[in-house]
Amino acid sequence: MSQLNETALGEQLIAFRHELHRFPELSNQEFETTARLRQQLEQHQIRIVDLPLKTGLVAEVGPAQGPLIVLRSDIDALPIEEQSDVAFRSERPGVMHACGHDFHASAALGAAILLKQQEATLPGRVRILFQAAEETGQGAPDVIATGALQEAVAIFGIHNDPSLPPGVVGSKAGALTAAVDRFDIRITGTGSHAAKPHQGNDPIVIAAQIVSAAQTLISRNAPSADNAVVSITQLHSGSTWNVIPDSAWLEGTVRTFSQSTRERLEQRFREIVLGLGAAFAAEVEFNWHAGPPAVVNDAHWADFALQQATASGLEARVVEASPIGEDFAFYQQQLPGAFVMIGTGEPFALHHPAFRINDAVLLPTSRYLAQLAVAALRSLERA
Ligand SMILES: [Zn+2]
Ligand SMILES: [Zn+2]
């Protein structure tokens, strides 16, 4: 195969990224995105691993046997109406690539193409995941269930970071993103006339007690170094001024960086909520919906990923953990790996309707990913 000129590859990747951006698809509905990726991979004679995935796909480069390194990207978009002024704005009302997964998928495609060019000399295999449904936290468990990672030695994932300067690669050993859990609380009491509250047990007063008590969850149950967060984001009750309602409903999220704090907060929150229900003689239900655990980077591979950033001409930086969620964490429960942030230096945060990507970072990210995979395979050879 003729070596593809890098400038031409960079332009092709940008054009491909813009195409994905124009036609975003929500989690688990990425049928056209998957077809577009498949077509690109086939065009470059890159083999696609036969796996029972509804959307998303897995490519592989390298010899039939040998150690296996995995590079992971994601491909889904968000239910957001785009407000950016780019020429390739979303053509799907209410759907937008506002987390830059179009960038991740294109960068991973570029890495696959660059790896294909050196396939004959690769000391092992590289699997490139184009994962569906990251935003719902279900995509990674679906990939794991196919057995795609069974032989893999290590996994690397990327996410763009508008707050880092363009081309800066940020990571750290240990927790990088938070476990993202959701809770909801339903209070069922007895309503009454607003003038005769003694005839009921006001669920609004109980909800207020729960909101106040929740503020002690972190301050009195989590070690100060753990940086946990509890936020109550919805509280609904009542419908008019002179009736005390018979129910209230609250919802919110808990973000934690360590498994022990995560378990402790769930347990204490449940005890506090149910205890307040008993204290005020109302029926209270506490539901905990576990999301992805924290991304916890393997110390060796996080350090390795930062070293390879420097080796591929990018600036490496040790960054602080962030209380966002990432379903990459599920992979790290199966095998060691590192998640890295790629700076884009853009003004709007992830999930913002005016979110943008810096296209100049695309080809360097592909080069970095390819370099990282090859170096990881070589390091295994030496080990
Ligand atoms: Zn996102
Ligand atoms: Zn994302």
Contact 57, 38 (CB under 8 A): yes
Question: 162 C-alpha to center of ligand 2: Å?
Answer: 12
Question: 192 C-alpha to center of ligand 2: Å?
Answer: 47
Structure confidence by residue, pLDDT tens digits, 170-223:
999 999 999 999 999 999 999 999 999 999 999 999 999 999 999 999 999 999
Structure confidence by residue, pLDDT tens digits, 214-244:
999 999 999 988 899 999 999 999 999 999 9
Question: 5 C-alpha to center of ligand 1: Å?
Answer: 33
pLDDT band at residue 1 using 50, 70 and 90 as cut-offs: very low
Directed axis angle between helix 6-22 and helix 101-117, to 10°?
A: 150
Question: 239 C-alpha to center of ligand 1: Å?
Answer: 34
Q: Which ligand is nearest to the CA of 357?
A: 2
Question: 98 C-alpha to center of ligand 2: Å?
Answer: 8
Residues around ligand 1, an ion, CB closer than 5 A: 99
**Percent of the chain scoring above 90 in pLDDT:** 95
pLDDT at position 260 is 95
Question: Residue 366: pLDDT above 50?
Answer: yes
Instruction: Kindly give the residue spans of alpha helices, DSSP state H, lying in the chain.
Output: 6-22, 31-43, 101-117, 139-145, 203-221, 259-279, 299-311, 328-332, 362-382
The mean per-residue pLDDT over the stretch 141-160 comes to 98
Contact 366, 107 (CB under 8 A): yes
pLDDT at position 4 is 63
Question: 237 C-alpha to center of ligand 1: Å?
Answer: 30
**Rounded Cα gap, residues 299 and 307, in angstroms:** 12
pLDDT at position 213 is 97
Higher pLDDT: 38 or 7? It is 38
| Amino acid identity for residue 151 in this structure | E
Question: Residue 168: pLDDT above 70?
Answer: yes
Structure confidence by residue, pLDDT tens digits, 270-295:
999 999 999 999 999 999 999 999 99
Structure confidence by residue, pLDDT tens digits, 69-119:
999 999 999 999 999 999 999 999 999 999 999 999 999 999 999 999 999
Length of the chain: 383
**Rounded Cα gap, residues 250 and 284, in angstroms:** 11
Question: 97 C-alpha to center of ligand 1: Å?
Answer: 9
Among the ranges given (3-17, 108-122, 137-151, 162-176), the one the predictor scored with the smallest mean pLDDT: 3-17
pLDDT band at residue 2 using 50, 70 and 90 as cut-offs: very low
Handedness of CA 152, 154, 160, 165 (dihedral sign): negative
| Mean pLDDT, the chain, integer | 96
Phi-psi region at 38: left, alpha or beta (left = phi > 0; alpha = psi -120 to 50): alpha
pLDDT at position 235 is 98
Convert 37-49 to b/e letters by CB count within 10 Å (16 or more is b): beebbeeeebeee
pLDDT band at residue 3 using 50, 70 and 90 as cut-offs: low
Q: Which ligand is nearest to the CA of 100?
A: 2
Q: For residue 229, what are the β-bridge partners?
A: 255
